[in-house]
Amino acid sequence: MENKFGFVSLSGRTNVGKSTLLNAFFQKKIAITSRKPQTTRNRILGILTEEKSQIVFLDTPGVHLGYKRQLNKVMNKIASHCYEEVDLVLFLIDRFKWQKEEENILKSLKNLNKPVVLVINKIDRLRDKTKLLAFIKDISEKFNFLSIVPISALKKNNLIELKNVILNNLETGPHHFPEDSLTEFSDNFFISEIIREKAINRLGDELPYRLNVVIEKIDESKKLKTIYAAIITESQSQKGIILGKQGSMIKAIGTAARKELEKEFSKKVNLQLWVKANKNWTNDINKLKKFGLGVDF
C-alpha cells in the first residue's frame, strides 16, 4: 500500500463544532473549544499520521457575517484562504441549521472546484432521527457533495466512517511531516490558547472577543515551569471585569489554566497572570499583526 497525504479544511460558520471534531480525531486537545462563537482565530494545523496515511487538518475560524471590526475581517480572510490550499473540504453544519452563513460558504466552495464532504454534526441532539434522511435529500440538491456524513463530534459517533471517506479521497504521495508531529504551533501558542479558553468560558458574551493572551516569558527547570502571561483587553473597564472583585476572576482563570497545563506538560506550573488594557486593539491592523493575528496573504 502506498503512502497517502493531503490537506483537509474543517470549514463552517462559528460554533458548529469544528474544533471539537479536530480534537476528537486526535483524542487530544489540539484546538481550544467553547460554546461561544468566534473562539478559533488562527488556522490550527493538526497532523494525523496513521500507518501509511497522513492527514493535515486546518481548523479555520468560523465564517461570520455582520461584524465590521478588523479582527473579524482578518478571521474571515484566514478562513477563505484555507479553502484555497487544501485537497478536501469538510463543510460542517449544525444538524438542520442552514442559514445565510452556510449559503455564503457554499457559494465560495462552488467557485473553488474542490471536493467537499458535508458533515452534519451534533446528531446526538436529534430527537427524531427519521427527519435526518429527508434533510439529507434536500441538502444534496444544493451541491454535488462528495459525500454527506452525519456525526457527533462530541460523542465521537461515526468518526470512523468520516475518516474513511477522507482517506479514500486522498492522493498517494509522501508524508510532509515527521510521524510524531501533531501540530506546527509552539508551546507558547498552545499555552496562550489554554489561558484564553479559560477566560472565554468565564466571561460575559461580548468581552471574550475583545481579549487576547500574550506569553511574555517562560522559565523552566526540571520540575517547574514558570509562565508569565498578560491578558490583553481594550479598556480599563474591561480590565476590571477580568480582574474581578478582589482579583477573584483572574484567580479562577489562572487556576483552571494551570491545572490543564500541568496535565499537558506533566510537571508543576507556576502561572503568573496580569491584565493590560490596549485601546481598540481588535480594530487596529498594526496591533493585530503585533499579536500574530493580522496575517498577510
Task: Look up the CATH number of the domain holding residue 238.
Answer: 3.30.300.20
Is residue 192 located within the same domain as residue 161?
no
Is residue 101 located within the same domain as residue 44?
yes
Which residues contact residue 227 at a Cβ distance below 8 angstroms, ignoring those fewer than 6 apart?
A: 191, 215, 217, 218, 261, 269, 270, 271, 272
Q: How far apart are CA 158 and CA 287, in angstroms?
A: 42
With a cut of 70, say whether residue 205 has pLDDT above it.
no
% of the chain at pLDDT higher than 70: 79
pTM for this one? 0.72
Phi, psi of 80 (to 5 degrees): -65, -40
With a cut of 60, say whether residue 22 has pLDDT above it.
yes
- pLDDT at 38 (0 to 100): 47
Is residue 152 located within the same domain as residue 24?
yes
Is residue 105 located within the same domain as residue 135?
yes
- pLDDT at 139 (0 to 100): 92
Is residue 132 located within the same domain as residue 269?
no
> Would you say 97 and 37 are in contact if contact means Cβ atoms under 8 Å apart?
no
Q: How confident is the model at residue 274 (pLDDT cuts 50, 70, 90)?
A: very high
Q: What is the pLDDT of residues 115-143, one digit of tens each?
A: 999 999 999 988 887 888 889 999 999 99
Q: How far apart are CA 149 and CA 117, in angstroms?
A: 7
| pLDDT: which is higher, 165 or 80 | 165
- Residue 178 belongs to a domain: no
Q: How confident is the model at residue 190 (pLDDT cuts 50, 70, 90)?
A: confident
Is residue 156 located within the same domain as residue 198?
no
Cell numbers representing residue 152 in the block: 457527533
Mean pLDDT of the chain: 83
Phi, psi of 74 (to 5 degrees): -65, -45
Count of CB atoms situated within 10 Å of the CB of 240:
14
- Residue 146 belongs to a domain: yes
Domain-terminating residue out of 137, 172, 207: 172
Average pLDDT score over residue span 192-198: 89
Domain span at residue 23 reads 4-172
With a cut of 60, say whether residue 76 has pLDDT above it.
no
Q: Which of 33-47, 224-238, 266-280 has the lowest mean pLDDT?
A: 33-47
> Would you say 211 and 205 are in contact if contact means Cβ atoms under 8 Å apart?
no
Which residues contact residue 285 at a Cβ distance below 8 angstroms, ignoring those fewer than 6 apart?
A: 70, 74, 294
Task: Look up the CATH number of the domain holding residue 44.
Answer: 3.40.50.300
Is residue 141 located within the same domain as residue 206?
no
With a cut of 60, say whether residue 72 has pLDDT above it.
no
Is residue 258 located within the same domain as residue 162?
no
Q: Which of 79-93, 128-142, 168-182 has the lowest mean pLDDT?
A: 79-93
- Residue 209 belongs to a domain: yes
Partners of 277 in the β-ladder: 233
With a cut of 90, say whether residue 111 has pLDDT above it.
no
Helix (H) or strand (E) holding 4: strand 4-11
- Residue 205 belongs to a domain: yes
- pLDDT at 115 (0 to 100): 93
- Residue 180 belongs to a domain: no
Q: What is the DSSP letter of 180?
A: T
- pLDDT at 64 (0 to 100): 44
Is residue 66 located within the same domain as residue 12?
yes
- pLDDT at 212 (0 to 100): 85
Q: Are strands 88-94 and 116-121 parallel, antiparallel or unpaired?
A: parallel
When divided into structural domains, the chain yields a total of 2
Domain-terminating residue out of 105, 140, 172: 172
| pLDDT: which is higher, 104 or 5 | 5
Is residue 267 located within the same domain as residue 131?
no
